[in-house]
Chains A and B, each alone.
Chain A
């Protein structure tokens, strides 16, 4: 890796700069409604000033500019937008700097909801959700850490065994009640 070289990780730029006019069929008029329904707020209030992009750590490193994403949402370019929302650190810098009171981070969360429902969840969401359903925690513990815990005088198992099965049962019950198991594709057995 070169010193202080500007790196572009994901390039939407070429695709966006293709001189292909946007045709009407590409624009999904209901997209904004879906975004609002998912709690993303009204993207129409965005002034396209670009303040969010200027402070966004992701926009700084990629061609995934948050202002562009918002513009594409305004135009209803759903297909173009659905490849972008997991590339956001939810750091809320954009929100703090937005003169229109938009919350681009919440918009991104709404887009994620749409992606999960229409294209399916990305693999890491499935695996971490499964961990929580099976272990009560997002992270699996390794033998090395189990040994280390013992060595430094902690309970070997991080999760108190007296409560573990009840806690996991609770989590699974909640996931069933909200339909999360079906949404993500978690097999909770019977």
Chain B
């Protein structure tokens, strides 16, 4: 069936290799991340490879949808996947939650029964999930599932640390960074296997390539406490789990927390209002990269953060 995205035909032809999927938290709570992403791609000279996906909606958030009705969750996720499919793009996420949701969806859609069920639903919105047609080297036509990527993976594997390193204009010398990966970046291991789940290194190495130091701390791979609905359901429990993490980070002498997930960021940032601890700024990895690549810190939207990052900006903000 032809897609109803008439406006898309032109759009799809000009679509870049990667589609940027911002999710819900980035545009609506921490827009500086969206801005940072644009700055990074421009400074690295690869913005032609990326484009926004203007039709995208909530992934949808698994803690709500996967937890209450798997069918609805899968159909809503497939709707987003169909858009990437029509644009022949890899779907790049900046959030562990979206990443996990889409990976799980592509995995489940490889089951013909589920695929059939979803396509019966998607028929109502004139869409069909097939995956992207490709021809193998042997000349066989195959349909490949949509490639779902985490931006960290794209940066590390496709763009490369050397490119980042050579684009740094504000080396973050002396900045001690505590990296928080977050659960859905790592687990379940058979799905989220972009790197060694018990010894992940990509974010640490990106931090190091910016000139900062990634410090070690106890229970680095622990949960922030917010996922799966805990933050919404029992806010005190999420706070208690975050507190353990934050205490370890502060005790290790970090100046800053960096995470590849805006939801972990939201939790670790906002929870500090209720905890009697030393306050420590929390950044998304893209914000830190943008800072090191010389973005104007006044245009990084850092005022959206609860814990102010003024000190770090005045020290590393470069030429203002």
Chain A residues with a Cβ under 8 A of chain B: 1, 4, 7, 9-10, 39, 57-58, 61-62, 86-93, 95-96, 103, 105, 108-109, 112-113, 116, 121-122, 124-125, 128-129, 132, 136-141, 145, 148-149, 151-154, 158-160, 162-163, 166-171, 173-175, 177-178, 180, 183-184
> In this assembly, does B163 line the interface, its C-beta being within 8 Å of a C-beta of chain A?
no
Whether A178 pairs with B121 at a CB distance below 8 angstroms is yes
> In this assembly, does B303 line the interface, its C-beta being within 8 Å of a C-beta of chain A?
yes
Q: Identify which of B125, B226, B300, B304 contacts A89 (C-beta below 8 A).
A: B226
Q: List 8 A-B contacts (CB under 8 A).
A: A86-B233, A103-B188, A138-B24, A141-B27, A152-B32, A153-B35, A167-B57, A184-B69
- In the bound complex, residues from chain A placing their C-beta under 8 Å from that of B58 are 132, 136-138
Q: Chain A's nearest CB lies how many Å from the CB of B21?
A: 12
Whether A145 pairs with B304 at a CB distance below 8 angstroms is yes
Q: Main secondary structure on chain B at its contact with chain A? A: helix
Measured CB to CB, the nearest residue on chain A to B303 is A148
> In this assembly, does B48 line the interface, its C-beta being within 8 Å of a C-beta of chain A?
no
Whether A96 pairs with B61 at a CB distance below 8 angstroms is no
Q: Identify which of A92, A116, A125, A163 contacts B183 (C-beta below 8 A).
A: A92
CA distance A160 to B72 in the complex (A): 24
Measured CB to CB, the nearest residue on chain B to A57 is B223
> In this assembly, does B62 line the interface, its C-beta being within 8 Å of a C-beta of chain A?
yes
- In the bound complex, residues from chain B placing their C-beta under 8 Å from that of A62 are 237
- In the bound complex, residues from chain B placing their C-beta under 8 Å from that of A39 are 70
Whether A95 pairs with B187 at a CB distance below 8 angstroms is yes
> In this assembly, does B67 line the interface, its C-beta being within 8 Å of a C-beta of chain A?
yes
> In this assembly, does B211 line the interface, its C-beta being within 8 Å of a C-beta of chain A?
no
- In the bound complex, residues from chain B placing their C-beta under 8 Å from that of A92 are 183, 187-188
- In the bound complex, residues from chain A placing their C-beta under 8 Å from that of B229 are 86, 88, 90, 122, 124-125
Q: Identify which of B22, B124, B189, B247 contacts A96 (C-beta below 8 A).
A: B189
Q: Chain B's nearest CB lies how many Å from the CB of A95?
A: 6
Q: Chain B's nearest CB lies how many Å from the CB of A31?
A: 19
CA distance A92 to B96 in the complex (A): 13
Q: Chain A's nearest CB lies how many Å from the CB of B46?
A: 20
Whether A124 pairs with B69 at a CB distance below 8 angstroms is no
> In this assembly, does B301 line the interface, its C-beta being within 8 Å of a C-beta of chain A?
yes
Q: Chain A's nearest CB lies how many Å from the CB of B217?
A: 15
CA distance A168 to B58 in the complex (A): 11
- In the bound complex, residues from chain A placing their C-beta under 8 Å from that of B55 are 160, 163, 166-167
Q: Chain B's nearest CB lies how many Å from the CB of A130?
A: 11
